[in-house]
């Protein structure tokens, strides 16, 4: 099924939108369920907590001068410590099963400063955890594994949910971080349905998986 067929599909809609009373009680399960249904019968698939980067840091070679200054357990101890994986686990990934290209994704749900609250309601640093995605090492690895190498787009997508999506400070902060790569994040605001989420992916990100 091609781009037009996926864009024209009507079965992505669900009876309820994101948030309390929606498909599930958390942002992650909502998004996963929405795309799982949208991708039925297409060449795209969504995976929850993909393991492509589970062992990312285990084989990092440190210089001798660093090794001389840190704790270096024996091999058996290291093997036990690394059993669960020294790496990262994205919240989801979207893959084109024909091209093999992968878009890795994160979901960030956070409180925010909105009507009837004070600026302190926007405290929290959940959104700041996305900053690791901008590091040279992860950017290079995401591009290598996912195959998204265009300089016009970043190799990841962040979906934000909760009051942070309407917080005047946080919106400016996140817009500044992403700069011209504003298509690589999406504010899934309380008044929105699954349609806006799917349309954003179809219009701005899916072309880079083809």
Q: What tens digit of pLDDT does each residue of 43-81 get?
A: 999 999 999 999 999 989 999 999 999 999 999 999 999
Same domain, residue pair 60 and 22: no
Task: Name the domain count of the chain.
Answer: 2
What are 73-117's pLDDT values in tens digits?
A: 999 999 999 988 999 999 999 999 999 999 999 999 999 999 999
Q: Which helix (H) or strand (E) holds 44?
A: strand 44-48
Sign of CA dihedral 21, 202, 52, 46: positive
Residues 108, 127: contact at Cβ < 8 Å?
Answer: yes
Same domain, residue pair 108 and 126: yes
pLDDT band for position 12 (cuts 50, 70, 90): very low
Same domain, residue pair 60 and 118: no
CATH code where residue 151 lies: 3.40.580.10
Same domain, residue pair 118 and 142: yes
Same domain, residue pair 198 and 154: yes
- Cα 116 → chain centroid: 30
Same domain, residue pair 192 and 113: yes
Residue 74 belongs to what domain range? 56-87
């Amino acid at each position: 099924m091609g781009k037009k067929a996926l864009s024209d599909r009507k079965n992505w809609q669900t009876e309820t939108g994101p948030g309390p009373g929606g498909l599930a009680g958390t942002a992650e399960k909502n998004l996963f369920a929405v795309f799982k249904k949208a991708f039925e019968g297409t060449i795209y698939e969504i995976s929850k907590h993909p393991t492509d980067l589970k062992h990312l840091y285990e084989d990092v070679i440190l210089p001798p001068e660093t090794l001389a200054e840190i704790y270096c357990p024996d091999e058996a101890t290291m093997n036990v410590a690394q059993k669960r994986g020294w790496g990262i686990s994205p919240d989801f990934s979207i893959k084109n099963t024909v091209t093999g290209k992968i878009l890795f994704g994160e979901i960030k749900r956070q409180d925010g400063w909105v009507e009837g609250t004070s600026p302190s309601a926007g405290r929290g640093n959940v959104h700041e955890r996305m900053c690791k995605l901008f590091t040279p090492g992860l950017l290079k690895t995401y591009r290598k594994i996912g195959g998204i190498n265009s300089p016009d787009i970043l190799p990841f997508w962040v979906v934000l949910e909760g009051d942070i999506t309407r917080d005047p400070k946080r919106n400016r902060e996140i817009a500044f971080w992403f700069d011209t790569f504003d298509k690589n994040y999406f504010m899934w605001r309380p008044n929105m349905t699954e349609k806006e989420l799917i349309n954003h992916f179809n219009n701005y990100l899916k072309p880079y998986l083809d």
